[in-house]
Amino acid sequence: MSAQNELQATVDALAQAGKGLLAADESGPTIAKRFKTIGVESTEENRRAWRTLLLSTPGLGEFISGVILYEETLGQQADDGEPLPQLAAHQGIVPGIKVDTGKIPLAHASGDEITQGLDGLAKRLEGYKAQGARFAKWRAVYNVSDTLPSRLAIEANAESLARYAAICQEAGVVPIVEPEVLMDGDHSLTRCAVVTEAVLHEVFHALNRHAVVLEHMLLKPSMVIAGKGHALHASVEQVAAHTVAVLGRTVPPAVAGIFFLSGGQTPEEATANLDAINRTGRRPWPLSFSYGRALQESPLDTWCGQPQNVREAQLALLKRARLNAAASLGCYDANEEIV
């Protein structure tokens, strides 16, 4: 199969109507924090058990088309010795991999951050691909205030995202481009919209400079939402209207699909906002989900590290996946939250 056909086949598998992505790529410190909330130590065995629970959930492939894995998980096996990426693939779920190595302060830009991981990326992708990964993800973060992010941060992160995407496509790996405008802070919905529009404009200028094929990439943006500390809580209709407007001004129609991150929203908020977005106006791309905590929180609370809770936890995951799949089609029923 040619590289272009390989990329197209992966995009087609990921961007299926009524399906989204499960983000299970938490770094060591992040998953340790999640486990601490349920009183479970973050050992390799516990992380393996948790991610095996997720990927072995019967019927998950009906609602989930791809899973983003952490590097450790890519090399782990289920209890029967089956590699976890293969366990996902057997459910029709495409395995992917987080390839950035985290964020650091951006020099000469107080309050801004830059993502690392480009060094040796092409070589690493060879190994990831051999382990079954067919797509990759790189996250850039943007802190928001009256003055942040700076122009330097917007440009530097766009350049890194574009370089990453180009390297992935050269390797036959579909890139997911994730520019996250953070919810931390007290900024307004309007301020978030202004920042998100500036960020996405710059990202697509950079992707164009690096000759990234838009049909063979996916975008994982944040929704346009006010900061957690802002006094006014926007309605789902306001979030949807601002989000779709910003995307319409910045994202070319050629992009294969848009998979929103949940970014600190509660599971219920993330589902309701996605549904409202899909009930809004004209849009040339499929609008779905790539959720981590918003899919995992309920099953994690149910599991609590106890083997006897595995099936119940899987049912909790399946419910959240099903509700978000409905939201990706604009047919979510909030009454199902209490069923």
Which of 261, 271, 240, 262 is CA-nearest to residue 337?
271
Contact between 169 and 216 (Cβ < 8 Å): yes
In degrees and rounded to multiples of 5, residue 111 shows phi and psi of 95, -15
From the list 178, 180, 197, 297, the catalytic residue is: 178
Residue with tokens 């941060």: 153
**Alpha helical stretches, state H, the chain:** 3-14, 28-36, 44-55, 71-74, 84-89, 121-130, 151-170, 189-209, 236-250, 267-278, 293-303, 310-327
From the list 19, 220, 297, 319, the catalytic residue is: 220
DSSP letter for each residue of 219-262: E-PPP----TT-S----HHHHHHHHHHHHHHHS-TT---EEE--
Strands 135-142 vs 258-260: parallel, antiparallel or unpaired: unpaired
Both structure tokens of 151: 């122009």
Can you tell me whether residue 185 is helix, strand or coil? coil
HSE (side-chain half, CA atoms, 13 Å) at 132: 24
The 10 Å Cβ neighbour count of residue 280 is 19
Total residues found in the chain within this entry: 339
Is 220 one of the catalytic residues? yes
Which of 291, 265, 320, 317 is CA-nearest to residue 25?
291
Both structure tokens of 109: 């830009």
CA distances from 1 to 8, 96, 132 (A): 11, 19, 16
Task: List the catalytic residues.
Answer: 178, 220
